[in-house]
């Protein structure tokens, strides 16, 4: 329903803050119960002539937009000179959104400081590892450790909150944008030293953790500790790993400083920031999630077709899992989150409406993909489907990045799909807080990804996230829904837990994995796991270090095949071994598959170990997706047996259940309510008709809903 069109608050620039209006949790929108699914995207009317906003309003109504992200890059407009604020334009934008029934995710603009600010405070510009202070002229030119930047960020956030605390359009605070700018300046050096003092207490512990005795790198004074700037040869791996951890914490501190001023002024409005995916992102979402009212992610697949659907599911399952962990950590005394709130509050804050230019690749979206990807996120728990951006820009650095309203205008297939998705989401609000039912879990740890990117490893190209993505992809194709877990968290109660390349394995993680198996769970551990402790120090005595007893194996040495080489295996269904190989001795486990060629011929390649009442499997080589599918099927039984690419995600709430069906294949497929885990009287919310005899067309979708008593 669209709201009435009251005139928005008309306050002069710099007017004092009105007494904060008590805001009910429901008023905040989907993050905390109540309200429709969010649909919309980044909205930057400041790029367009004033009269374009009237057309925007009409098109947003037509598309069913419910949320617009405003102000992400608007710092120079909000504060054109130090301490001078100009809000009239933003008042106008928010008032118009409100009159048209659209809520606002109001951003703090701190990802892009104004040019005047960089000129006045050049020490806030980031410094590269080579010691080059970057020139202002693009975005993200900030150092979270520079005091002037920290102070200005909190000040502009406070000014926004003072101005809009009472604005009826305000639904969500969007702090900053994709925290991630690296800096190696002297402010960072000081903050890094403080962080290290907290972590290690003294220099002896630091020297021990970083093994500085090697290469005579002993640190004798804190002043010698610097960010990992460019060095003659390899840096100490412990140093580089700790710097990434530090950056995550430093950025979290910057986020929390803004969140605190926003929360103090608008206690009922949820606060978030949007995570980017990618190796450059020095953010540990498990550590951040408890500090966010909901998790927000930006996701851009870098492969077309089915692979894009798999990547979408991977990102969405990660986001939901971070959100679940965050909500659980926030709940008092470990109690479950309140029943009227999602157990896993998260939203896809940005996705592409059309072609994506990413990592040097051009990835177009085929007809139907806009809806399937948007719906795919919602299926996996997103509180809506949001895009970057509403209108494609005419100029600027991202003038060819796609938008919901393309350059061609609303008379376009993209905008028609946008309208289709908006109309569909308007019918799915009932599922918003429903639980996503997972039946397998995968461990993911950003620290392992960072550690496997260090320049001191037994082979190049090692990849924890890649291994997690492969496990996820294989499970996705088998029809399973995955939950991710941090290694130190108690694994969720699922029949199957996969541990891919868990290079850093803490004692706690090893205990948790053992407890899961002992209690009857199935565990599948892949090579590169258990090797080092959280400092990155190798656990000696045989690999896989911390997990030897649990897996019943001892690995004497690595023997990876040459790039491109494949090693034959004794079980044809497993294909060939590739990328990695190990000389495995069993110490309680039984060999399920052996290497049958090359220097490892006769050695176990895949083992199985009964541990307590469960079974722990170990995979000492790399497999193709088909080979890994066979291993996971041997370990945990086959999946539901749907055609690969027919994605079904089940969600349930007390007395109701939904099944989201996304057909990423080129053929129509019948879907029976029972196959999707629903009672026979389910209705397809897409058509409004009973689901009996349902065939989901090639590239199509259905959302089944049923009462469950």
Binding stretches for ligand GLA (CB under 6 A): 177-178, 276, 298, 300, 350, 388, 398, 401
Minimum CB separation of residue 353 from ligand GLA in Å reads 10
- Rounded to whole angstroms, the Cα distance separating 468 from 445 reads 9
Give me the numbers of helices (H) and strands (E) for the chain, helices first please. 17, 30
Residues in the chain: 709
Q: Is 571 exposed, middle or buried (0-12, 13-18, 19+ CB in 10 A)?
A: middle
Minimum CB separation of residue 390 from ligand GLA in Å reads 12
Minimum CB separation of residue 139 from ligand GLA in Å reads 8
Neighbours of 686 (CB within 10 A): 21
Minimum CB separation of residue 234 from ligand GLA in Å reads 32
Minimum CB separation of residue 402 from ligand GLA in Å reads 8
Minimum CB separation of residue 401 from ligand GLA in Å reads 5
Q: Which is nearer to ligand GLA, 302 or 566 (CB)?
A: 302
- Rounded to whole angstroms, the Cα distance separating 302 from 365 reads 11
Q: Which is nearer to ligand GLA, 186 or 398 (CB)?
A: 398
Residues in contact with 457: Cβ distance below 8 Å, sequence separation at least 6, in sequence order: none
Q: What amino acid positions are annotated as catalytic residues?
A: 178, 350
Residue corresponding to tokens 């790993």: 241
Q: Which is nearer to ligand GLA, 298 or 392 (CB)?
A: 298
Minimum CB separation of residue 316 from ligand GLA in Å reads 16
- Terminal Cα distance for the chain, rounded: 29
Minimum CB separation of residue 349 from ligand GLA in Å reads 8
Minimum CB separation of residue 178 from ligand GLA in Å reads 5
Minimum CB separation of residue 300 from ligand GLA in Å reads 6
Q: How many CA atoms lie within 13 A of 598 on its CB side?
A: 23
Q: Which residue is nearest to ligand GLA (CB)?
A: 298
Residues in contact with 626: Cβ distance below 8 Å, sequence separation at least 6, in sequence order: 575
Minimum CB separation of residue 388 from ligand GLA in Å reads 4
Q: Which is nearer to ligand GLA, 27 or 276 (CB)?
A: 276
Which pair of structure tokens corresponds to residue 234?
Answer: 């390899």
C-beta separation of 443 from 472 below 8 A: no
Q: Which is nearer to ligand GLA, 177 or 212 (CB)?
A: 177
Kindly report the three-state secondary structure assignment for every residue of 171-199. EEEECCCCCCCCCCCHHHHHHHHHHHHHH
- Rounded to whole angstroms, the Cα distance separating 255 from 533 reads 29
Q: Which is nearer to ligand GLA, 276 or 426 (CB)?
A: 276
Q: Which of 195, 232, 201, 200 minimizes the C-alpha distance to 215? A: 232
Q: Which is nearer to ligand GLA, 101 or 354 (CB)?
A: 354
SS3 (DSSP) at 81 = strand
Residues in contact with 202: Cβ distance below 8 Å, sequence separation at least 6, in sequence order: none
C-beta separation of 6 from 94 below 8 A: no
Q: Which is nearer to ligand GLA, 388 or 415 (CB)?
A: 388
Q: Which is nearer to ligand GLA, 19 or 397 (CB)?
A: 397
Phi, psi for 260 (deg, rounded to 5):
-65, -40
C-beta separation of 584 from 544 below 8 A: no
Give the torsion through C-alpha atoms of 252, 258, 261, 266, to 10 deg: -100
Q: Which of 63, 690, 27, 60 minimizes the C-alpha distance to 426? A: 63
Strands (DSSP E) found in 656-694 = 656-663, 669-670, 683-684, 689-690
Q: Which is nearer to ligand GLA, 271 or 401 (CB)?
A: 401
Q: Which is nearer to ligand GLA, 112 or 522 (CB)?
A: 112
Residues in contact with 701: Cβ distance below 8 Å, sequence separation at least 6, in sequence order: 371, 372, 375, 660, 661, 662, 663, 686
Q: Which is nearer to ligand GLA, 107 or 438 (CB)?
A: 107
Q: Which of 601, 558, 555 minimizes the C-alpha distance to 579? A: 558
CA dist 302 → 173, 178, 360, 364, 571 (Å): 28, 18, 9, 10, 34
Residues in contact with 55: Cβ distance below 8 Å, sequence separation at least 6, in sequence order: none
Burial 126-160 (b: 16+ CB within 10 A, else e): bbeeeeebbebeebbbbbbbbebbbebbbebbbbb
- Rounded to whole angstroms, the Cα distance separating 227 from 236 reads 11
- Rounded to whole angstroms, the Cα distance separating 76 from 139 reads 12
Residue corresponding to tokens 């190049």: 460
Which pair of structure tokens corresponds to residue 59?
Answer: 């098109």
Minimum CB separation of residue 473 from ligand GLA in Å reads 23
């Amino acid at each position: 329903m669209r709201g009435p069109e009251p005139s928005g608050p008309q306050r002069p620039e710099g007017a004092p803050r009105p007494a904060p209006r008590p805001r009910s949790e429901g008023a905040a929108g989907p993050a905390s119960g109540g309200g429709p699914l969010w649909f919309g995207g980044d909205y930057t009317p400041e790029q367009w002539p004033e009269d374009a906003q009237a057309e925007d309003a009409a098109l947003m109504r037509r598309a069913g937009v419910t949320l617009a992200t405003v102000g992400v890059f608007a710092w120079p407009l909000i504060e054109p000179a130090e301490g001078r604020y100009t809000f009239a334009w933003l008042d106008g934008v928010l008032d118009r959104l409100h009159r048209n029934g659209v809520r606002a995710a109001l951003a703090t603009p701190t990802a892009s400081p104004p040019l005047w600010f960089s000129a006045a405070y050049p020490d806030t510009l980031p410094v590269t590892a080579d010691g080059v202070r970057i020139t202002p002229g693009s975005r993200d030119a900030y150092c979270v450790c520079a005091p002037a930047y920290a102070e200005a960020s909190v000040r502009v956030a406070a000014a926004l909150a003072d101005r809009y605390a009472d604005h009826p359009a305000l639904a969500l605070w969007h702090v900053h944008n994709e925290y991630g700018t690296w800096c190696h300046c002297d402010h960072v050096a000081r903050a890094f030293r403080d962080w290290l003092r907290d972590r290690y207490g003294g220099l002896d512990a630091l020297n021990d953790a970083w093994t500085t005795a090697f290469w005579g790198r002993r640190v004798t004074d804190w002043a010698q500790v610097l960010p990992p700037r460019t060095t003659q040869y390899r840096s100490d791996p412990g140093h580089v790993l700790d710097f990434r951890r530090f950056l995550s914490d430093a950025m979290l501190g910057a986020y929390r400083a803004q969140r605190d001023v926003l929360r103090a002024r608008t206690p009922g409005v949820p606060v978030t920031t949007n995570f980017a995916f990618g190796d450059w992102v020095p953010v540990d979402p498990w550590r951040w999630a408890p500090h966010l009212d909901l998790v927000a992610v930006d996701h851009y697949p870098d492969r077309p077709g089915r692979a894009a659907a798999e990547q979408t599911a991977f990102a969405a399952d990660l986001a939901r899992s971070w959100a679940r962990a965050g909500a659980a950590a926030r709940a008092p005394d470990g109690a479950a989150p309140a029943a009227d709130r999602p157990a896993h509050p998260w939203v896809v804050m940005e996705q592409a409406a059309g072609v994506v230019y990413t990592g040097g690749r051009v990835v177009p979206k085929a007809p139907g993909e806009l809806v399937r990807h948007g719906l795919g996120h919602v299926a996996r728990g997103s509180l809506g489907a949001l895009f970057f951006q509403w209108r494609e820009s005419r100029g600027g650095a991202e003038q060819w990045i796609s938008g919901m309203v393309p350059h061609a205008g609303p008379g376009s297939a993209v905008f028609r799909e946008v309208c289709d998705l908006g109309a569909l989401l308007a019918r799915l609000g009932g599922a918003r807080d429903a639980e996503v039912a997972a039946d397998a879990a995968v461990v993911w740890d950003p620290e392992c990804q960072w550690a496997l990117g260090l320049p001191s490893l037994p082979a190049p190209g090692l990849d924890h996230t890649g291994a997690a993505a492969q496990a996820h992809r294989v499970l996705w194709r088998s029809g399973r829904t995955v939950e991710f877990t941090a290694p130190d968290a108690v694994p969720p109660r699922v029949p199957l837990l996969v541990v891919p390349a868990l290079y850093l394995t803490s004692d706690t993680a090893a205990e948790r994995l053992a407890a899961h198996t002992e209690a009857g769970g199935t565990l599948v551990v892949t090579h590169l796991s258990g090797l080092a402790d959280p400092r990155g120090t190798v656990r000696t005595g045989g690999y896989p270090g911390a997990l030897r007893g649990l897996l019943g194996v001892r690995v004497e040495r690595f023997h990876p095949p040459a790039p491109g080489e494949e090693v034959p295996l004794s079980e044809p269904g497993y294909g060939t071994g590739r990328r990695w190989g190990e000389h495995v001795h069993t110490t309680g486990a039984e060999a399920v598959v052996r290497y049958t060629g090359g220097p490892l011929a006769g050695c176990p390649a895949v083992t199985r170990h009964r541990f307590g009442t469960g079974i722990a499997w170990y995979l000492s080589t790399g497999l193709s997706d088909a080979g890994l599918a066979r291993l996971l099927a041997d370990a945990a039984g086959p999946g539901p047996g749907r055609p690969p690419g027919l994605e079904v995600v089940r969600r349930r709430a007390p007395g109701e259940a939904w099944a989201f069906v996304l057909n990423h294949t080129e053929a129509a497929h019948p879907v029976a309510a029972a196959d999707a885990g629903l009672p026979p009287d389910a209705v397809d919310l897409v058509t409004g008709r009973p689901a009996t005899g349902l065939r989901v067309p090639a590239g199509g979708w259905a959302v089944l809903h049923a009462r469950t008593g």
